[in-house]
Amino acid sequence: MHFSSLPATVLAQFRDGQVIPAQPLALDAQRRFDPRRQRALSRYYIDAGAGGLAVAVHTTQFAIRDVGLYRPVLEAAAETASSWIDRPLMMIAGVVGRTQQALSEARTARALGYHAVLLSLAALKGCSEDELIEHCQTLAAEMPLIGFYLQPAVGGMPLAASFWRRFAEIENAIGIKVAPFNRYATLDVMAGVAAAKAADRVTLYTGNDDHIVLDLVTPFRTEQGDLHFAGGLLGHWSVWTQKAVGILARCKEARKEAAVSREILALDSAVTDCNAAFFDVANSFHGVIAGCHEVLRRQGLLEGRWCLDPGEDLSPGQLEAIDRVYRLYPELNDDAFVRANLGKWLEAD
């Protein structure tokens, strides 16, 4: 097994809990890859205090594989991270598809210096639990593995507690991104990890964008003891990232208290309200990627909100929804931080 790709300092930081943004794809007006702005995005996340980058994931657009951008996008993030800072930074590559495609992507990521892969099982819909676990074991022999419970609304499938127990028993499984947007399903992951007695080895990251703050402060009771989410690996945290770093720090402090404060509960509702606008919940997530792009466009990090698919854009009313959360929650945006540093990030090339 390829444990050597994950330095002890990076693993320790990952287990402690970090803000890990799911990186969007920078395109120009002709919908061609824009490496300069892609690298600027990475610099933004790093300087905002992110503890890692997740690249070639849903927020990056799965279609990068269809247009020959999988390796270039991974390469841009890896090269930028290695040249911009010297602190530990967890580099995670998304891998998708049936086993041979996923293996090929994992090998590309390892060759580029990535530390772990985030494994989407969407292409294996209809497979048995045994087949899913065999797929995961094969990938874990190639790279340290982070499981991904993707919500059904964007291509995921239900995964029982028994699956998560068996996943957590895989030796090279180091974490799970829990993103079913469903409390019952979230509890299934907790039960599975607890039953595997793997809580000290499999670190839990929230991807539940509808309850980010509550996930980060909630103790989940199991028969083996309480479990908790260490950090977040989120498309939502691809925007307003500097403030997300502060939110995670507040949540870590709140965990130490005997009771959750009214302020933390209010923060959860505020963050969820912003997410509803960015992710286009009103239209079944159709404008989710364009919504994140729109925020980054306003800040100047992206030139436009173009997606690879010309038919993918904001839904009717979504622009107004984003305007509304900007007005309601000015304390949650990091526009001033971006404004002060944008020239540096864009001109570093």
Q: Is residue 314 part of a domain?
A: no
Q: Please, are residues 260 and 254 in contact by the beta-carbon 8 Å criterion?
A: yes
Q: Is residue 299 part of a domain?
A: no
Say if residue 328's pLDDT is above 60. Answer: yes
Say if residue 1's pLDDT is above 50. Answer: no
Amino acid at 260: V
End-to-end Cα distance, the chain: 37
Mean pLDDT of 304-315: 97
Q: Is residue 179 part of a domain?
A: yes
Q: Give the β-pairing of 231-234 and 145-150.
A: unpaired
Mean pLDDT of 10-14: 97
Whose CA is closest to 308, among 93, 21, 38, 24? 24
Mean pLDDT of 89-107: 97
Q: Is residue 312 part of a domain?
A: no
Q: Looking at residue 12, which CATH number applies to its domain? A: 3.20.20.70
The pLDDT score that the predictor gives to residue 5 is: 63
pLDDT, one tens digit per residue, over 44-59 is 999 999 999 999 999 9
Q: Is residue 140 part of a domain?
A: yes
Task: Tell me what percent of the residues of the chain surpass a pLDDT of 70.
Answer: 99
Say if residue 153's pLDDT is above 90. Answer: no
Q: Please, are residues 14 and 54 in contact by the beta-carbon 8 Å criterion?
A: no
Mean pLDDT of 90-96: 98
Element (H, E) at 341: helix 335-347
Nearest-Å Rg of the Cα atoms of the chain is 19
Say if residue 2's pLDDT is above 80. Answer: no
Q: What is the mean pLDDT of the chain?
A: 96
* Alpha helices by DSSP H, 34-125: 35-48, 70-84, 99-111
| Domain tally, the chain | 1
Q: Is residue 334 part of a domain?
A: no
pTM of the model: 0.96
User: Whole-angstrom Cα distance, residue 158 to residue 41?
Assistant: 33
pLDDT, one tens digit per residue, over 281-305 is 999 999 999 999 999 999 999 999 9
Q: Is residue 276 part of a domain?
A: no
Q: Give the β-pairing of 231-234 and 203-206.
A: parallel
pLDDT, one tens digit per residue, over 211-241 is 999 999 999 999 889 999 999 999 999 999 9
Domain that holds residue 205: 3-259
Q: Give the β-pairing of 52-55 and 90-95.
A: parallel
| Rounded (5°) CA angle 249-273-236 | 55
Q: Is residue 296 part of a domain?
A: no
Three-state SS for 191?
helix
